[in-house]
Chains A and B, each alone.
Chain A
Amino acid sequence: MQVSAYLIVSALLFTIGAVGVLVRRNPLVMFMSIELMLNAVNLSFMAFAHFLNSVDGWMFVFLVLTVAAAEVVVGLAIIVSIFRSRHEIDVDDLTMLKG
């Protein structure tokens, strides 16, 4: 397989994730979309690592995994905290700050 093939899959996943953030108002789903974007990038890294014969990509993926895990923890904590105080998690309701 050409590297381009992986990259195109990666690009598609990334785009879907990005659009997902835009179109969904459930923070959990938005969050999932972000995970999707990160994973798309991971795919690119792995493909590059493979085709470049370079270990950097692997390492980067590992870091991204960790970061994603940490983000999940923090993000879910924030979402839960908000849910606790207002029993609604619609992102569109968070518009006190504007203008």
Chain B
Amino acid sequence: MTNFPVLSAIVFVPLLGAVGALILPRLAGWGWALLASLVDLALALLLIPRLGTGTTHMLALNEHMPWLPDAGISYTLSADGINLFLICLNALLTVVAVGASFGVARSGDRPRQYLMLMLLLSFGMQGVFLATNLFLFYVFWEVMLVPAYLLVGMFGGPQRGIAAIKFVLYTTAGSLLMLVAIIATGIEVSSTHHTAFTLDLAALLNAGVPGNVQTVLFLGFAAAFAVKAGLFPLHGWVADTYSETPVAVLVLIAGVMAKTGVYGFVRFCLPLFPQGVHSLAPIMETLAVASIIYFALEALVALDFMRLLAYVSISHLGVIVLGIFALNTQGIEGAIVQMINHGIIIAALFLIAGAIEARTGTRRLADFGALATKLPWLATVFMIAALSALGLPGLNSFAGEFLAFLGTFQSSIVFGVLGTLVVIPAAWYMLRFFQGAMEGVTPEGGAVASARVADLRVGEWLPLLPLLALIIFLGIVPNTLTAPMQQPVGEIVSSYAPATPSAFEAPGANGHVHVYHPIQVQTIQTQTIQTRHIYVLQMTNALASGEREQARVGA
């Protein structure tokens, strides 16, 4: 089993599914697509025991194959605690999205293309999450865009064409700059160290990017990532795209694709350009805070609930960016946790919004009221998702936001406070949406008053259930997510923190340099870190470490 190229399988199973979905007729194609996405999910989940132990290094599990060696291009996939759950998320949301597309498959327009593109999108995103050769990453990055463009444009609302082209132009503008930065990174590394041109992340990390160019290179990468994450002021595409896209597609676009941007920051920018990131972190944090607050306010006054959710989504992505650029363990871990949580929640919210729109035919908030009397289960599900979205402690989003804000606060009190402030408008706009739709009085004569009264059907329940389960489960035990990323995140943070040994810091942060071996297909294990059972008496150390922590933060 160790020789089985599981990472490649994870990437290419959706492609297989796409091919089948294109060939097979309606429901057979749907079944095939669902099967493929389930297999993909199973494969992704199988990785958890291998990488979820908390002791695997960054880029621990690798698959490597030369591609265009002269140009430093290789087919290299890597998995570790950072992308582990993002892969799972993508696989899960693909299942959800395919599952939610049953109606299209049964009686919708162009079902084969629809399912094919959806799986193609999933394929691209798995690739983005797994690729660690910069070229390969870029390939997948753009491959992901094609089905997204077609899905929005072919199956979207009345303004779909404009929305799709806007989406593509925004994202391409960013990614083309990233392309330049990718090449420049390879060139700078090879010319500084007089080595062969390579774009393997591991090799680049081992060599190190020269400090003087890091800022510029970072900006190149950041352009692509920030656009994808809808960071203020590069968000122009988001609201239009989200409000035009069919919800099952949005599950993938908002749920997963938006994460690729923030993932890119963690995977590439932070380890590769520590100096650049360090010098520009305040700007990124400022933008993140601006995103958070600005989009929260926009969500507060949105008239249409799809746009509202779009703003909600990017406002929360701002939190993730904020956490990442806190550049400490809590911030980054919180950001990654939040990537997962955000994916789950936003997918659930969009599914719910879609269910509401399907029943009422409108998305104007003013048209709504008292739907809960007709749709109690929908209201319940909506409530849970909304509560999670507004960061209710005890549900999944809280854990990630908490860590992200905590990290931010430790690196900068001002940004921490400003970022945390979002919890107030978050509660406001989510309740405005929830209560506006579900509670109060139905406006007379509106579309809602005469809406169909059927509550959630089985076909709508099934995609939502796993999401709800995760919303609750990950709220109770967020450690499931953070444990595997301790080591890799520690290694990232080690380039930012002074090498102070600390009993509570991950070993990678001890100034110990880890050498990444992308070539061997193996999982690198170090000595087991002592398990962290916390007992009351052990807490006696806490204060001492707290002081160190303070010193570290102050420095």
Do A and B touch directly, given a CB cutoff of 8 Å in the complex?
Answer: no
Q: Which residues of B contact A (CB under 8 A)?
A: none
Chain A interface (Cβ within 8 Å of chain B)? none
